[in-house]
Homo-oligomer: A and B are copies of this chain.
Amino acid sequence: MGVSSLTTERTVHHARFAERAGATAVMIIPTSYWKLTDAEIVRHFDTVAKAISLPIALYNNPATGGIDLSPEVISKVLEIPNVTMVKESTGDVNRMHRLVQFADESVAFYNGSNPLALAAFVAGARGWCTAAPHLIPALNVHLYEAIERKELDLARALFYRQLPLLQFIVKHGLPRALSAGLELTGTQVGPLRTPLLPLEAPQVEELRRILVKLEVLRA
């Protein structure tokens, strides 16, 4: 459960609420208005970690959160006992390589950049945090299973097959792309939270064509 907030106090507040509500783990992305120093990032996680007994996943996504956590500082945060997972969403597989080098080959990192799904698994990612299963769950699972079975050629074919959808949802933003896709596949999802607006008609049409090609929709 995501418990991120602008201040450490409020993040602690959300984290405790999550714990009481029965969450099994919490995820935290630093989202301060001011760029944070490494010391501030470590203290932020440390303060929350001491306030709860749940395992914590550090989430690095500079494109949305506005702060880029280097592999070095991530490895420092991972020394906090109950920070046990990393979700890496910079979109650069080299960052995963460096994380493995700074932390350790046993580091439990998860890929959060959809177009890196194949590269990340091969780099050692434990899993893939993705919104794509709302639209193409079978393809997502098959990619994972092909990797598990070391069927590289199949994994590559499955990856390139779903890549246009993965690129589309990243390019247009998950809330806009997913809600349009869900509507296309027959699930009413209601309006987006402002200031977000729905996709324009040509983009919806492009998404429809991608889903038709993936046999999620009929032509």
Contacts and interface: CB of A to CB of B under 8 A. Distances in A.
Interface stretch (A15-23, A34-42, A78-86, A179-187): A34-42
A92 interface: yes
Interface stretch (A50-58, A116-124, A208-216): A116-124
Interface in A118-136: 118-119, 122-124
A75 interface: no
A119 B123 contact: yes
Contacts of A65: 33, 66
Number of copies of this chain that the complex holds: 4
- Main SS of chain A's interface residues? helix
B66 A94 contact: no
20 contacts: A7-B194, A8-B194, A33-B64, A34-B175, A34-B196, A35-B63, A40-B195, A40-B197, A44-B194, A44-B195, A47-B194, A93-B93, A97-B115, A97-B163, A100-B160, A105-B160, A119-B119, A119-B122, A124-B156, A150-B152
Interface of A: 7-9, 30-37, 39-41, 43-44, 47, 63-66, 91-94, 97, 100-101, 105, 115-116, 118-119, 122-124, 147, 150-153, 155-156, 160, 163-164, 173-175, 193-197
Given A43-B197, A47-B195, 20 more contacts: A7-B194, A9-B194, A34-B174, A34-B175, A34-B196, A35-B63, A36-B195, A37-B197, A44-B194, A44-B195, A66-B66, A91-B94, A93-B116, A97-B163, A100-B160, A101-B163, A101-B164, A119-B122, A122-B122, A150-B150
